[in-house]
Each structure stands twice: as C-alpha cells, then as structure tokens.
Amino acid sequence: MKKILLIIALISLSACNGKFDTKKFDLRKDCTGNETNKTLSDVFCKKKIILIMSFEDNLKKLNINLPSAANPVGSYVATKITGKYLFISGQISIDKNGDLIKGKIGKDLSTDEGYKAAERCAINIIAQAKKACDNNLNKIKSCVKLTGYVNSTDDFIEQPKVINGASDLIASVFEGAGMHTRAAVSTNSLPLGVAVEVDAIFELN
C-alpha cells in the first residue's frame, strides 16, 4: 500500500513539473504542517508535496562529521528512552581529534573558546541521539531542553554566551525542531577538568 501511495505521489509531482529525490528528503508532514500517520496525505496534497530536508543533510551542509557515541565513564547509561522522550546524559567537551577541551573559562579559556567547546558537546549529544534512535535522526520530533555546565571563575558571568555554542548548533541541525528551553549553570569544576558539559532531552516521533 505504501508503495502505491508513493507512486501516486511521484506521478502527481511529475505533473506539477517538480522533482523528487527520495535519498535527500523525508516526507513527514501533510500540507498543514501537521504530523500524519503515513497515509496519502504524507506524500500528496492537492498536487503539492511537502519536502523536508533530513537532519542528516543538515549535518552534511554544516560539514559536521559525528564521532562515535562515547561510552559512559561511571555507573549510569548514556541515553534512556521513556515514553516518547529521549534523555541524554551530560556530554563533555571533546574536540574532533578525541582530546579533552580542558580549562576554566574566564582564566584559561575565553568566552569564544568556551562557545566552541559547547559546540563540541552538542555534536556529542547528536552522536548519542543517533545511536539511541537506531541511526535515524529523523525519529526526533524536537529538542525539549539543554542544560549546560560551565567550568568558570567566580567572577565570570557569560555562561549563557558559552552555552549558546550548543544551542546554536542544535538549532542549525534540527531547525525549528531544535528550539529548546535551557539552563546555563556555572560550576567551579567539571569531570576530568573539562571546560563544558551539556545534557539534553529530546521528544521522539
């Protein structure tokens, strides 16, 4: 039945002089933008197809290569799904070479360097999310919340600017679905001496 619906949609799209690349796009919403149950409205609505770039395409566009999801370093799990929510344990700042980004922001690192460290936390969060979702990021409906922890000096007050690194990256990859609530917290130290740690909650389809 699904194959028949897809063929109908492709024929209709051809009649509208459109092009459809099933490798680049996911059909996930009807013409009103509402979630569907994969009926005919998933692929066809008054000769108009709603095409949504996959989150994987956004990663490629941003030139982001996801690392392997890191194993927990304590007595906990990296991810847990309960109901329609995916909880991701705190991901620390690790650069693309696998080295820890260490230091206290406001002393050893600048706000901009902290921002980049938070970006790396977000990349590690996405890697964990992909693994938890059986390598299919399009199972994610939205990012609900990020909580960021900044290893900073007592007089440092730009924690929100640092955690913007994680927030901006999540929003870039997941677009509207990446808009989230957030907390940015100052700490006097973090595990292994890293600069930033971020945890996340996602809603699943």
Q: What is the mean pLDDT of residues 37-54?
A: 44
Supply the DSSP symbol for 98.
Answer: S
61-204 fold: 60s Ribosomal Protein L30; Chain: A; (3.30.1330)
Tell whether the model's pLDDT for residue 102 goes beyond 90: yes
Are 66 and 127 spatial neighbours (Cβ–Cβ below 8 Å)? yes
Q: Which tops the pLDDT comparison, 130 or 37?
A: 130
pLDDT (tens digit per residue) in 163-183: 999 999 999 999 999 999 999
Q: Are 197 and 95 in contact (CB under 8 A)?
A: no
Residue range(s) occupied by CATH 3.30.1330.40 in the chain: 61-204
Q: Report the percentage of the chain scoring pLDDT > 90.
A: 73
Residue at token pair 């692929």? 43
CB-based contact 163:116 (threshold 8 Å): no
| φ/ψ of residue 32, rounded to 5 | -90, -5
Q: State residue 53's pLDDT score.
A: 59
- The tokens describing 119, both together, are 């970006």
pLDDT tens digits, residue range 59-89?
A: 999 999 999 999 998 999 999 999 999 999 9
Predicted model pTM:
0.75
Q: pLDDT class for 42, splitting at 50, 70, 90?
A: very low
